[in-house]
Amino acid sequence: MSENGKTPVDFWFDPLCPWAWMTSRWMLEVEKVRDVEVSWHVMSLAVLNEDKLDEIPEKYREGLKAAWGPVRVAIAAREQHGAEVLGKLYTALGTRFHNRGEGPTREAVVGALEDAGLPVSLADYADQDTYDAELRASHKEGIDKVGQEVGTPVIAVPGPDGEQIAFFGPVVTPAPKGEEAARLWDGTLLVASIPGFYEIKRTRTAEPSFD
């Protein structure tokens, strides 16, 4: 438990990933129905896949080039304005990228910064490596908890004896609300409490639903 009596959850996201966006919207719903508190962290699909580019289809390689900008802006915002701005900025970025279909354009990033009450000058960091060391460190922190064979998102929740257990996912669409969100959260804590539990998975048959 945190000092305020709420269950702490650490959530690593790349704002470009639609599946991470779905999971993050579920996590915000969980905050309404359970005593949890989410801390947001940046991870990077570009960093995750930079050593696998030869194995990735060309169309996805182009997408990974575009993935650098938003995470660089997010980590710059964290470094200059504190980690507490990340949740609001992620919501602003994801709403524009996914719900509104604007994609990771500079115009969308600038609009998201305005929506989050942050200086639009942070958008300039999309093309700069100023905070790449901090970005890689944040990414590594999440990946070190969960392992290399995953993507985004990564969530870390309390496990046995207070030990933090990290998972990739849950991957879900649309984002559950109300009691459904609560049940999925309770199940997440349940599997985290089982020593040696690693994975449940099935083939995805639906695209992310942003409604």
Return the pLDDT at 59.
67
Place of tokens 């990564």: 154
Question: Which of the 8 DSSP states describes residue 34?
Answer: S
CA–CA distance, 162 with 177 (Å, rounded to integer): 27
| pLDDT tens by residue, 158-177 | 888 778 999 999 999 999 99
| pLDDT tens by residue, 114-155 | 999 999 999 999 999 999 999 999 999 999 999 887 888 999
Residue 55: pLDDT above 90? no
E strands present in the chain: 7-13, 36-42, 154-158, 164-168
100 forms bridges with which residues in the sheet?
none
Return the pLDDT at 148.
80
Class of 7-192 in CATH: alpha beta
Kindly state the greatest CA–CA separation across the chain.
Answer: 48
Mean pLDDT for the chain overall = 92
Number of Cβ within 10 Å of residue 9's Cβ equals 23
Contact 38, 9 (CB under 8 A): yes
Distant-in-sequence, close-in-space partners of 180: CB < 8 Å, separation ≥ 6? none
Distant-in-sequence, close-in-space partners of 158: CB < 8 Å, separation ≥ 6? 7, 8, 164, 165, 189, 192
Return the pLDDT at 184.
97
Domain-by-domain residue ranges, the chain? 7-192
Residue 198: pLDDT above 90? no
